Structure 1
Amino acid sequence: MAEAPWLTIVGLGEDGPDGLPPASRRALDAAEVVMGARRHLALLGDLAAETIEWPVPFADGLPILMRLRGRRVVVLASGDPFWFGAGAVIARKLDRDEWRAVPGPSSFSLAAARLGWPLERTFCLGLHAAPLSRLKPHLAPGVRAIVLLRDGESVMDLARYLAEEGFGASDLTVMEALGGPRERLTEAKAETLTDAGFVHPVAVAVEVAGEGAPLPCASGLADDVFDSDGQITKRPVRALALSALAPRPFETLWDIGGGSGSVAIEWLLSHPTTEAISIEARSDRAARIRNNADRLGVDRLQIVEGEAPTALDGLPLPQAVFIGGGLSNDLLIDLTTRLAPGTRLVAHAVTLESEALLTGWSGRLGGTLLRIALSEAAPLGPKRGWKSAYPVVQWQVVL
């Protein structure tokens, strides 16, 4: 039989040792050191092993854990350590044969069991260290969500956020210390919830309702969703750009000439694993991109302030690139040299000069050219007529 690893990550519920499976009990009995948050250590009571309280912030505990290598160590975590838990952070630091995990029921499972909700159709989100705006892409009437929060005070912050977004009519079930003797459930509308002295650990079940405006699932959000100084890829053109960029899970986009950040933000909204870097030369627009991304729930957008191609140095290579501003021959030369084969490149041109540039490059590298000419109905005296926008030429190529 292979030797047991030196580290065991034990998922602990609020019922303390009463709910531990045999494997967790054996690990604790054999442990030389037990490391965990003060609350977790208190749930277990007196232990024969040495105990170390995990410090705050969490990252400060990792060097302490690494120094315990070679001893029998148990790390305590809440419920399932690999569902918005500490397990993944710890496992990244170790070889696979150095650790094992014995998960307990997750807070999401316990909450769904209390409410009778099918977990596979319930949106689950951990917001221990993330902004409440991460909820924004998922707010639509009929959505059920279970949200884990940092502390009791965050419950009222969540209720206020929902009301401000127009979803104050949402039904909330605040669940404290699920599965333990301190368990308490409080039900109220988001707009009428009062502070009942909620305490950690806390989860909130949300049945979304109200007159707020949900974000559509398709590309091409309305222009007024984004704060802009006018430098924005308009909705129909943006939808065509996203279609050409074709975002896929775990891919990264470079959005060169970010403007309002609309293309990068919609790329990120397409899938939770996508990444994007927006390159913008103007500081006021870079700040506007940051605000748009944070407000729309994609705070993971990375913003680089500077001019391409110089600002591209040192960035992780993307799978797709969009040039919405700053198009030049030097930039295209740099990108075709810098980027890996298979990278998808989409560039837009409005002026005759930039259109000629894309026409020449498409003749060399191939790809497709698309001329987008849009018109909107507008007042014309007492009647209406078609008002044309400047045509946009789109070049799409796989390098």
Structure 2
Amino acid sequence: MVTIAGNGMGDYDFSNLNIDISKFDKIICDPNFLTESAEHKKEEAKNILKLKYKDAKQYIIDNYEKEELLYVVTGSPLFFSAGTIIARNLPNDEVKIINNTSSKTYMLEKLFINETDVDTISLHGRVDIDLENFLQNKYTFVLCDKYTIKRLKEALFYFEKDSIKAALGYKLGFEDELIKEINLLDFDESSIDIEQPYVLLIKKEFESKNIISEDIEFETERGMITKKYKRQLSLQNLDLEPNNLLWDIGAGSGSCAIEAYKRYKVKTTLFEKNETRIEFIKQNLKNHFVVETKLLEGEAQEYFEELKETPQRIFVGGGGVEVIKQLPKLYEILDTNGILLINAITLKHLNLMLTTLNEANIEYEIHSLSLTTYKGKLDLVEPERQLFQIKIKKEEK
């Protein structure tokens, strides 16, 4: 039989356990637990095994039928814990979980915040931010490691400092506990020992924009923008999924990448060479509070070799002849099972695209789109330029 219990907040010891540990044959805990304190008898200490996760899991699986085991985890066994992972590997009648206070619960109790107003992500030992749960609710609780603040500053590069507030929870439950409001975007990590446990609670101070945007919501150069209906159709054809990485080549106003983030919660990299449009893109990224985005200035094809990232989706909405010549390279860079979508509005570019793809033996499907809108009280006709759309799926070999 295995009992999985959390030690709650504070020192890594057994002082917060409301159970008699002497009844167990073995007590398993992380190597950083303090097991030599005065509250433990010497004979009890002999039964304590300090094991890392993989070794602890294996010992429990090998011995749960033969011994009464207590597995002590930090915080709560139900909150980003190895406890539930191990429990799922055991028969239901051979495991019992005893909950305790998690760092999230502890912070919400201290700051009087309703749990339903909070989403949670973990950046402890992780690089990727789960965009489905980041800055979608009123608050976002973040489990942190020593790289987290730097990582968040990168993700929030286009945010103004008054767009968010953050509370730092440092060494929760310890004698030198610290809970205070910080300016996350300008925070100096050297002011705390980031090797020690800490968490962040980030509050949205902005109202999210409409998921589907009108064209007038974007700053543009002389109306250089993928119009609303074509923008929606293009995003639909990309088959975007949350946390995909989307490259938007020839980004123009940035409207496609921005709306892709808002609708589908994807990461974006924008390529644009026109200096005026670049300034509009920067303003649009700020206005729409876009997270996890990069704007690369200059000729797009010059970045293809040096970027150390693998996009799951690539959208080519501009870039000219030199980008068209690089379509085979983009197909090579594209992740397996990814999608490359190319928009063309001139027969000259369409012909060059098809020639380039055929010479590289890349399979594609093509659609021609004609769209006319009627505006005003008189329903004035406003025909849009015909759009040719090429869709390529990179199948797994």
TM range (shorter): 0.5 to 0.7
| TM-fit CA distance, 1:386 | 3.8
Secondary structure, in 3 states, of the residue corresponding to 1:204?
A: strand
Secondary structure, in 3 states, of the residue corresponding to 2:167?
A: strand
Contact 2:235 2:260 in 1 (8 A): no
The count of corresponding residues between Structure 1 and Structure 2 is 281
Q: Who is 2:153 aligned against?
A: 160
Selected match of 1:186 from 180, 186, 210: 180
Q: Who is 1:29 aligned against?
A: 22
Q: Who is 2:77 aligned against?
A: 81
C-alpha offsets along residues 302-321 of structure 1, whole Å, 9 cap, x if unaligned?
xx9899xxx88xxxxxxxx9
- For 2:90 and 2:388, the matched residues in 1 are separated by 55
After TM superposition, list the pairs within 5 Å mapping 1:3-22 onto structure 2: 6-15=1-10, 16-21=13-18
Which amino acid is 2:182 matched to? Answer: A
Q: Who is 2:58 aligned against?
A: 63
Where structure 2 has 5 or more consecutive residues not aligned to the other structure, the ranges are: 220-225, 249-256, 267-303, 315-330, 343-363, 375-380, 392-397
C-alpha offsets along residues 279-336 of structure 1, whole Å, 9 cap, x if unaligned?
xxxx9899542598xxxxxxxxxxx9899xxx88xxxxxxxx99979xxxxxxxxxxx
| TM-fit CA distance, 1:162 | 5.5
Selected match of 1:350 from 341, 366, 372: 366
Contact 1:220 1:238 in 2 (8 A): no
Contact 1:40 1:77 in 2 (8 A): no
Report the TM-score when normalising by structure 1.
0.54
C-alpha offsets along residues 332-377 of structure 1, whole Å, 9 cap, x if unaligned?
xxxxxxxxxxxxxxxx95348xxxxxxxxxxxxxxxxxxx643699
Q: Who is 2:271 aligned against?
A: none
Does structure 1 residue 105 correspond to structure 2 residue 127?
A: no
| TM-fit CA distance, 1:160 | 2.5
Secondary structure, in 3 states, of the residue corresponding to 2:147?
A: helix
Secondary structure, in 3 states, of the residue corresponding to 1:191?
A: helix
After TM superposition, list the pairs within 5 Å mapping 1:329-368 onto structure 2: 350-351=366-367
CA distance 1:189–1:324, shift in 2 (3 Å): closer
| TM-fit CA distance, 1:74 | 1.1
Q: Who is 2:143 aligned against?
A: 148
Does structure 1 residue 390 correspond to structure 2 residue 387?
A: yes
Q: Who is 2:121 aligned against?
A: 125
Contact 1:111 1:146 in 2 (8 A): no
Selected match of 2:112 from 111, 116, 119: 116
| TM-fit CA distance, 1:103 | 0.6
Which amino acid is 2:185 matched to? Answer: E
CA distance 1:100–1:89, shift in 2 (3 Å): same
Which amino acid is 1:179 matched to? Answer: G
| TM-fit CA distance, 1:93 | 1.6
- For 1:8 and 1:64, the matched residues in 2 are separated by 14
Which amino acid is 2:3 matched to? Answer: T
Which amino acid is 2:111 matched to? Answer: L
| TM-fit CA distance, 1:76 | 1.3
Secondary structure, in 3 states, of the residue corresponding to 1:161?
A: helix
C-alpha offsets along residues 258-281 of structure 1, whole Å, 9 cap, x if unaligned?
997x899899649xxxxxxxxxxx
Alpha-carbon RMSD across the aligned residues, in angstroms, is: 5.0
Contact 1:124 1:147 in 2 (8 A): yes
- For 2:175 and 2:313, the matched residues in 1 are separated by 42
| TM-fit CA distance, 1:196 | 1.9
Q: Who is 2:199 aligned against?
A: 203
| TM-fit CA distance, 1:65 | 3.0
Q: Who is 2:358 aligned against?
A: none
Does structure 1 residue 289 correspond to structure 2 residue 307?
A: no
Report the TM-score when normalising by structure 2.
0.54
Q: Who is 1:53 aligned against?
A: 50
CA distance 1:61–1:373, shift in 2 (3 Å): farther
Contact 2:4 2:77 in 1 (8 A): yes
| TM-fit CA distance, 1:95 | 1.6
Q: Who is 1:175 aligned against?
A: 169
CA distance 1:10–1:391, shift in 2 (3 Å): same
Which amino acid is 1:143 matched to? Answer: K
C-alpha offsets along residues 61-86 of structure 1, whole Å, 9 cap, x if unaligned?
42233233321211111222122222
CA distance 1:63–1:375, shift in 2 (3 Å): farther
Contact 1:163 1:190 in 2 (8 A): no
Secondary structure, in 3 states, of the residue corresponding to 2:311?
A: helix
C-alpha offsets along residues 96-146 of structure 1, whole Å, 9 cap, x if unaligned?
122110010121111001111111111222222322533586336x83121
Contact 1:220 1:236 in 2 (8 A): no
Percentage of identical aligned residues = 14
- For 1:158 and 1:306, the matched residues in 2 are separated by 24
- For 2:150 and 2:90, the matched residues in 1 are separated by 36
After TM superposition, list the pairs within 5 Å mapping 1:301-320 onto structure 2: none
| TM-fit CA distance, 1:238 | 4.2
Selected match of 2:90 from 87, 91, 94: 94
C-alpha offsets along residues 161-201 of structure 1, whole Å, 9 cap, x if unaligned?
36524154432221123234342223221133222223432
Q: Who is 2:295 aligned against?
A: none
Secondary structure, in 3 states, of the residue corresponding to 1:166?
A: coil
| TM-fit CA distance, 1:158 | 4.9
